[in-house]
Structure 1
Amino acid sequence: MVLEDIKEGNKRIKWKDRVPLAYWKGNPHVDPSRRDLLKCNLTREQNWDTLLYVQDWDKEAKEGYKQSNLEDQCTHRFYDFFIRGMIPLQHFWPINDQSKCSSLKFAVQWGNNNTIQAEAIGEEGSKYLQENLKMELVYDYMYHLLNEYSKLLKFRPTVPPGAVELTPETMTGAVEGLHKKFLEDSLEKSPSEREPCDLPPYDRTVLDELREKKLNALNQVQTWEKEYWENQSKANNN
């Protein structure tokens, strides 16, 4: 349901009409990197071409999450998803974690000066999200993960004394509102009509090629970024 909402939200505003700034909205208190990101927000002294917002989930919960619908946030050009299978410059634009602010600034400038390529990256990222985060694929992943993990166990698992079985009723009984609705929406009411996808055999070559492709893309962006700031420095000194 959420994926469909995001897909529809993407259609509301054309890429060329979206806010040409880097956009992020979330909880900065769960990770030091997120707190560091807020240093890149707009100030009187510095403009990194960013719009960064702190998400107050307690407040959102009380107000029915009216300001946090994902489909309503498709008004900006630049947002990212961190998924292992995504390729820099194909599905997303990478940001240097060691120099977030200047890296974000360059990303926005590059995107605004290369709108066709930037839009293509955004479309590929959205397409990847729609095709690879379907719930049936998530369940396939969980199935294979648990099966592979079970092969590593050195003991036979048993139910410990006093254990309480979790059921749909016990999981949803203590919650209300949208929290309960989301839990109920994710409930599988019957077995799947298809078999789980086949887990491909381990192939080191495929993994090495993927790593090399990512590394080459990251190096390309770093080269572009270095050249951009060198040119900016020369222009400011002239």
Structure 2
Amino acid sequence: MGLPFIRRSPLSIFYIPPPRFLILLFFCFLALFLVFEVDDFVSRTKTIVGHNLEPTPWHVFPFKPSDQESKYSKASKIIQCSYLTTCGLNDTTPEEKQSHNAHDHDPPAQCPDFFRHIRRDLEPWAQTNITMAHVAEAQKLAAFRVVIVGGKLYVDFYYACVQSRAMFTVWGFLQLLKRYPGRVPDVDLMFDCMDKPTVNRTEHSYMPLPLFRYCTTPQHFDIPFPDWSYWGWSEINIEPWDQEFRNIKQGSRRRRWENKWPIAYWKGNPDVASPLRMELLNCNDPNNWRAQILRQDWGEAARKGFKESKLSQQCDHRYKIYAEGYAWSVSLKYILSCGSVPLIISQQYEDFLTRGLVPNINFLPIPPLDLCQSIKSAVDWGNQHPSQAKAIGRAAQDFMASLSMERVYDYMYHLVTEYSKLQTFQPVQPSTALEVCTEYVLCFADQKQQRWLHKSAAVPSSTPPCSLPN
């Protein structure tokens, strides 16, 4: 007897998987899709430490911090800090607001006279005002955009900045909002974090572009703003400004004026495309040129724990030389703080504070021609007129003592306020910008940066900002 014949349906030759398998397969495809989507999302998120950003094309630099991170670490950090961090620490407590408002009617102190340059810096827009077209055009030369709306800070990043400049500059804006809660007006401005001014007055005479940066020249429209190092320069172990000034002033007292070395001193990095600094190396001859010129190797200094590069230990000479580098240099404020006679080699660039310096009162000007002989002549004059030289050194130090962080914030406040008065539009949060708050910055900061950020954190002021001079 044969086997029974079984008639099969034409569709029965296809295997139909059980429902559980289909569900599992669906979730696998979904997970794979989400991985690709998250990866694409992360790759498009730009951050305060340079993730997914290229160096500024007008000042290319080779190193980006994000290059040292693994792909997973980078993605986790971006998601955690940019999207999972809750802002809250920037909010002023009721007690702080009460303390702040209690002194609203107190007469403000008078701002330093050089604050009047704020209006001079903004004069190119006094007639035309600042339109959205100005801001949009300035974006082409900016590293990031700063927007303040209702006391909240929004930043749109376009290019990476050297080291932690972006982080500490943005932190400065956050501290301004913290110091003067409810006072800082709504603004929309473009900022470049590199050294050289770029908005040439001749090239942009038809449409001056309002671009904030750390320095300017008489030939540029760039608007000078306090540099990042006022909140600390963690890469080379320089403390936030108030603390660093105290350290330098204390170090300047290690030797009485009469016991300081009667020669000029400079220590810095000449390898910054600076012909002036390279020429200065030729003046390293205490006997013939009355100058000691030392090359600063920051890599070696870091390996030695910065023990031999402390600024507070560089005030043992009666004269200190300031030489511009690639452009302006943050070293100026530290040189002025020593109590030594600043020998400032003819400047091409100016930051916000240099407009307050008076030749032969706060410093001795040094012509760049016949540089070594010019330095020697200044030193010889000072040694022949010790009381006058000592007075110049003291005047320079007193000038920097008057520029506390309180005054730095006042300068920032008035600059932003005067700028806002020229805007013809109401700033709004850019669709491509994220809110930046204390938690956001601290999340991206490494341990050393976090220490510097905490040290430089501001508190609400108990007095109103100083009053601008007429």
Short-chain TM bin: 0.7 to 0.9
Q: Alpha-carbon deviation of 1:117?
A: 1.4
Aligned to 2:457: 187
Quick one: distance in 2 between partners of 1:112 and 1:180? 45
Q: Alpha-carbon deviation of 1:97?
A: 2.3
Aligned to 2:405: 135
Q: Name the aligned partner's letter for residue 267 of structure 2.
A: K
Q: Alpha-carbon deviation of 1:153?
A: 2.7
1:202-235 per-residue CA deviation (whole Å, 9 max, x = no partner) reads xxxxxxxxxxxxxxxxxxxxxxxxxxxxxxxxxx
Pairing 1:123–2:398 present? no
Aligned to 2:254: 12
Kindly name which structure, 1 or 2, has the bigger radius of gyration based on alpha carbons.
Answer: 2
Higher mean C-alpha displacement, 164-173 vs 20-29 = 164-173
Quick one: distance in 2 between partners of 1:197 and 1:191? 15
Identify the match of residue 92 of structure 1 among 359, 363, 381: 363
Q: What is the aligned-residue RMSD (CA, Å)?
A: 2.3
What 5-or-longer segments of structure 2 have no aligned partner? Answer: 1-242, 321-334, 337-343, 345-353
Pairing 1:27–2:298 present? no
Aligned to 2:301: 60
Pick closer, same or farther for the CA change 1:30–1:141 going to 2, 3 Å.
Answer: farther
Q: Alpha-carbon deviation of 1:77?
A: 0.8
Q: Alpha-carbon deviation of 1:55?
A: 2.0
Identify the match of residue 380 of structure 2 among 109, 130, 142: 109
How many residues are treated as equivalent by the alignment?
197
Pick closer, same or farther for the CA change 1:159–1:62 going to 2, 3 Å.
Answer: farther
TM-score between both structures, scaled by the size of structure 1? 0.73
Which structure has more strand as a fraction of its residues? 2
Aligned to 2:419: 149
Pick closer, same or farther for the CA change 1:50–1:178 going to 2, 3 Å.
Answer: farther
Pick closer, same or farther for the CA change 1:89–1:151 going to 2, 3 Å.
Answer: same
Higher relative contact order (CA 8 A, sep 6+): 2
Quick one: distance in 2 between partners of 1:167 and 1:183? 12
**Alpha carbons 1:23, 1:78 under 8 Å: kept:** yes
TM-score between both structures, scaled by the size of structure 2? 0.39
Q: Name the aligned partner's letter for residue 48 of structure 1.
A: W
Quick one: distance in 2 between partners of 1:153 and 1:113? 54
Quick one: distance in 2 between partners of 1:7 and 1:197? 25
Pick closer, same or farther for the CA change 1:77–1:196 going to 2, 3 Å.
Answer: same
**Alpha carbons 1:64, 1:178 under 8 Å: kept:** no
Pick closer, same or farther for the CA change 1:94–1:168 going to 2, 3 Å.
Answer: same
Identity %: 42
Pick closer, same or farther for the CA change 1:99–1:180 going to 2, 3 Å.
Answer: farther
Pick closer, same or farther for the CA change 1:184–1:56 going to 2, 3 Å.
Answer: farther
Aligned to 1:36: 279
SS at match of 2:366: coil
Which structure has more helix as a fraction of its residues? 1
Q: Name the aligned partner's letter for residue 466 of structure 2.
A: C
